[in-house]
Amino acid sequence: MQLANDPAGILARLAELRAADAPTHGGHVLSYVYDSGLAELDELAAAAIRAVQPVNGLDPTTFTSVAVMEGEVVGFARDLLGGDSDVVGSVTTGGTESCLLAVKTARDLWNASSASATGRPRLLAPVTVHAAFQKAAHYFGLELDLVPVGQDGRVDAATIISRLGPDVALVVVSAPSYPHAALDPIAKVAAAAQAAGIPCHVDACIGGWVLPFWTGLPAWDFRVPGVTSVSADLHKFGYAPKGVSVLLQRGRDRQRAQFFATTRWPGYPVVNPTMLGSKSAGALAAGWAITHALGRDGLAALAQSCERATSALIDVIGSIEGLRVVGDPVGPLIAVATDATAEASAQVDPHHWADQVRAHGWLLQLQPGLAQSDGTVLPHTTHLTITPVTEGVLPELSAALVTAADEVRGIPAVSPADVLGALPAGFALPSGPIDSETALAILAGIGLVSTESGGLPDRMAPFLALVSALPAPLTERLLTELIARVVEPR
Ligand SMILES: *Cc1c(COP(=O)(O)O)cnc(C)c1O
């Protein structure tokens, strides 16, 4: 048959679209992408994906390559994360799916226990826990109990332990937390949870493949008694393409509660360890190939590069007048806030700084401030994820960080009053639910509808200020509209 369009032309168009993307390699984007700097790993991953392209990961008995690769990846992760032969696991499509499944497992076990007589299950975690756990509580009907953290992003162990109770289906701690790179007090929380018969999940989605090689850390993985599950993303510091993570669980019986199985329909018997049915084996094959190529030593070498670059950047940022590194980062992430002890004229707002750094060609990630349930407020910050390619660009990156700070020093943060004052005259914030057209009109009114490209505005600081200034349900609805419109057919 004759194809409707010539493949070469289609690929040329894709190349054009890709050229407009943020750069995935070279270290200029300090979030989202994890570049090992090893071109042969990318080639290997591409070849592995191609080799399994037609495979359906749904059935590892029909496609036995899937069973072998999954077993080897889980085994590698289990060794790395201090698990013994009692630890089993699954390969999932990403950190969110690993976290969702950890919560679903705990909820189902809790529902089957006598504790369920107490009513609704509760998910207990520091407020810094990844938003995937908010999503899990929402999807699976758990009450979310988020514990405030200190200004350094660290949760007090006694505070979280005091909130353990029979209705807690799962307590979650992070290694480290995404917003501030805080290593939660895992040993203390896990011990208290174990004593109370409550499972404890360690979210090592970002740290799982790099912290095993970080220097000077206390035990945070399956070596810690009471840790019942760990999530670790291969598509972060495992350097695999997106779509692959592992969820390890201590105890076969616990892990079996993760599965969904049914024979009660007139089709094939369904047995799904994870959320999807039919699924690609591509990212699994790529992750599998990369773990074999790097081995422990390769991962260690890449982690050591990350550690050197992180400590160099902590020094650089720490020496910039008006900025400070939040807390004591554990792992290759840094959160940067204003140094409030400096004179106002010497302070650097981290969001103006990030926008200015971007003008110099480096993309940092703006994080909003947060009012916690105890009335304290976590300041807004700028996030950097450091990868193995960072070390090679340290001089240029450091220069951009310093110069950008000089260029915005003394400019006050965008205040809520500024953004609300910029709303069109006579504009009334809706109090209840709004429809898509109203949401679009508000976005247009505040100048946030992305026009042709769907790209971000040049300056993100006012946008983040708006996120903090408006009531959360409204902002969430507006952002939903924004993202939904971005992918609508043009
Ligand atoms: C990235 C991340 C997740 C979620 O992972 P995705 O792969 O983006 O779905 C969960 N927890 C932490 C700590 C993370 O850094």
Whether 30 and 384 have beta carbons less than 8 Å apart is answered as: yes
Fold category of 47-291 in CATH: Aspartate Aminotransferase; domain 2 (3.40.640)
Q: What is the pLDDT of residue 160?
A: 98
Q: Domain spans of the chain?
A: 47-291, 416-486
312 CA from centroid of ligand 1 (Å): 25
Work out the percent of the chain whose per-residue pLDDT is above 70: 98
Instruction: Note the pLDDT tens digit of each residue in 145-191.
Output: 999 999 999 999 999 999 999 999 999 999 999 999 999 999 999 99
First to last CA, the chain: 29
Which residues' Cβ are closer than 6 Å to ligand 1? Answer: 94-96, 99, 130, 132, 174, 178, 203, 205-206, 233, 245
pTM comes to 0.96
CA dist., res. 411 & res. 352, Å (int): 8
Instruction: Note the pLDDT tens digit of each residue in 248-279.
Output: 999 999 999 999 999 999 999 999 999 999 99
Average pLDDT over residues 456-483: 87
Closest CA to 434 of 392, 475, 373: 475
Closest residue CA from atom 7 of ligand 1: 95
pLDDT band at 422 (very low <50, low <70, confident <90, very high): confident
What is the pLDDT of the chain when averaged over all its residues? 95
32 CA from centroid of ligand 1 (Å): 10
Instruction: Note the pLDDT tens digit of each residue in 104-119.
Output: 999 999 999 988 887 9
CA dist., res. 125 & res. 111, Å (int): 19
Q: Which range (51-55, 97-101, 459-463) has the least confidence?
A: 459-463
370 CA from centroid of ligand 1 (Å): 19
34, 103, 130, 173: residue to mutate for ligand 1 pocket, most atoms within 8 A of CB: 130
Q: What is the pLDDT of residue 470?
A: 87
Q: What is the pLDDT of residue 426?
A: 67
Q: What is the pLDDT of residue 473?
A: 92
